[in-house]
Structure 1
Amino acid sequence: MIAIKRLDATEEALAVIDMISKEHGDLMFYQAGGCCEGTQPQCFEKGGFFPRTNDACIGTINGFEFWVDRDLFEYWKYAHFTLDVLDGFGPGGFSLETPYGKTFKVHYRLFTEEELQHLEPVRRND
């Protein structure tokens, strides 16, 4: 059986990612567990943010890593993430889509019992 992905993106999000990567090069995503940036996914130039010890890389979008805060991942490890983008400004404004009047958002759904048995492994930051 094929491993079940933990992460996907909408066509709209992929179009914004393509636009940003043409300007900034390689990217990375990080979804924190709160504080000033909330739980909204942030997009940075690759290396522009350093995941903490034991944060989880749940997959890639167009080859760009998507990291999740270690505590947030423990809460959402049974859920599939779909990255989307909306018009507007999210909290914080540190993310690279902000100057375009866009903000990334994640839609969640719980994995089925069968999917849980075949999930792609996560990679932890050592």
Structure 2
Amino acid sequence: MIQRLDATEKAKELINQLKETYGELMFYQAGGCCEGTQPQCFEKGGFYPRMNDVLIGTIEDTDFWVDRDLFEYWKFSHFTLDVLDGFGAGGFSLETPLGKTFKVHYRLFTEEELQNLAPVKLME
């Protein structure tokens, strides 16, 4: 099965660093403006996905949820989680005090990949 989500080594390292401080984590990416344009990292349970929001995968045992409307727009795209130096939009994400911000790089799936995509899970 073709996974919908991957992460750079830098992103994985930062996730593990944050887990040492905060415990279990989760990501949520909304489809709105400002902080919704970037993935936000929270303590697990610190944000509640809405009904029909989409779990597209996990990175380092950390769930990555996407707003249901954003998923409709990006459902034919692969997400690669990365991290950059700097202050992200909004400042609510756990990496902000470290002077880091998570970012997603997107690419369209190939026709072959689309035939074998991993299933997603909807929030009920």
Fold-level similarity (TM above 0.5)? yes
| Structure 2: gaps (5+ residues) | none
- Partner residue of 1:59 out of 50, 54, 57: 57
Aligned to 2:93: 95
The ranges of structure 1 where at least 4 consecutive aligned residues each deviate by more than 4 angstroms after the TM superposition are none
Aligned-residue Cα RMSD (Å) equals 0.7
SS in 1 for 2:37: coil
TM-score (norm. length: structure 1): 0.97
Give the corresponding residue for 1:43. 41
1:77-123 alpha-carbon deviations (Å, 9 max, x no partner):
00000000000001110000000000000000000001001000000
What residue is the counterpart of 1:6 in the other structure?
4
TM-score by length of 2: 0.98
Could you tell me which runs of 5 or more consecutive residues in structure 1 were left unpaired when the two chains were aligned. Answer: none
How high is the sequence identity, in percent, across the aligned residues?
74
Task: Out of 30-39 and 18-27, give the one that drifted further.
Answer: 30-39
**Where in structure 2 are the equivalents of 1:22-41 lying within 5 Å?**
22-41=20-39
